[in-house]
Amino acid sequence: MIEVVQAGSGEAGAQLRLRPPRALTASQFRALFAGLAGAMWLAAGLGWLAGNVFAPAFALLHSAGVALALRWLWRSGERGEEIAIGPSAVEVRRGAEAVFSAHPHWVRMRVEGDDGRVTLSSSGRRVEVGAFLGPAERSQLARCLKEFLAAATEGDGRNR
């Protein structure tokens, strides 16, 4: 998901917030876990009634494994990137860490490969942005970056 945040009044530039798309909400993830665990415990109960004494232990391990997998999946959806484009700097942040920073006049945006990977480069440094986005969202990201980079370099009074 791409969220465009315009700078406040009196400030030049823009900010893009990129987040991976999520198919389910938090309550839907909990309902999914409840459904999967419930089905497992039903099968384990039937197995126990049929004489399999290890079925409840397997159901407990299975439920814990499913809970950990769904938790990991939910946490991986929380990652994201922020791209701030202003007249004096282009900065890419992942979490609290700045992974790329350069003057917008020297930043080059490229779309590479068949899958449309978007990269920003300057002075020998290169960073891929939006790797977790789908192809349509990456092309939208490329259009936004091109527009904002052109506006940022226009605003500094120099020609490209």
- Domain that residue 55 falls in: 26-76
Residues 69 and 93 reside in one and the same domain: no
Give pLDDT, residue 79: 82
Task: Pick out the chain residues at pLDDT < 70.
Answer: 7-12, 155-160
In a domain? residue 85: yes
Q: How far apart are CA 32 and CA 93, in angstroms?
A: 33
In a domain? residue 160: no
Q: How far apart are CA 61 and CA 144, in angstroms?
A: 47
Give pLDDT, residue 156: 56
Residues 46 and 118 reside in one and the same domain: no
Give the chain's domain count: 2
Q: How far apart are CA 72 and CA 66, in angstroms?
A: 10
Give pLDDT, residue 90: 94
- pTM for this entry: 0.71
CA atoms within 13 A on the CB side of 61: 5
Give pLDDT, residue 41: 96
Give pLDDT, residue 45: 95
Report the CATH number that the domain containing residue 98 is assigned in CATH.
2.30.29
In a domain? residue 150: yes
Give pLDDT, residue 7: 64
Last residue in a domain, options 76, 92, 107: 76
**Which pair of tokens denotes residue 32?**
């999914």
Give pLDDT, residue 73: 87
